[in-house]
Structure 1
Amino acid sequence: MLDFTWRVFSETGCIDTYLLFKELEKEQQSDPLATDDELAEADFPLT
């Protein structure tokens, strides 16, 4: 998700996208396992 938001920001220069990127980055730093959980859920969605 970080890569996507950074690419959108770098192509558009939209400050809102940059702020979203920083928020996601901060969230990931506080909970590094969240990304692994998100990826696992994407592969095997809970029903």
Structure 2
Amino acid sequence: PRQNAASALSNSMDLSIATTQVATMLTSSQSHLGRTLSFQTHVPN
């Protein structure tokens, strides 16, 4: 039972790490997209 609890804890930690990485990727891509759009908006055509 202890081994099962340890593996479950390890799995949940892996899941939270993966979720954090995905959230970081999404946030950085969104801010990059926002910078690109604002840059294009400020450049006179």
* Higher RCO, 1 vs 2 (CA within 8 Å, ≥6 residues apart): 1
In our comparison, the structure showing a higher alpha carbon Rg is: 2
TM-score (norm 2): 0.41
Higher helix share: 2
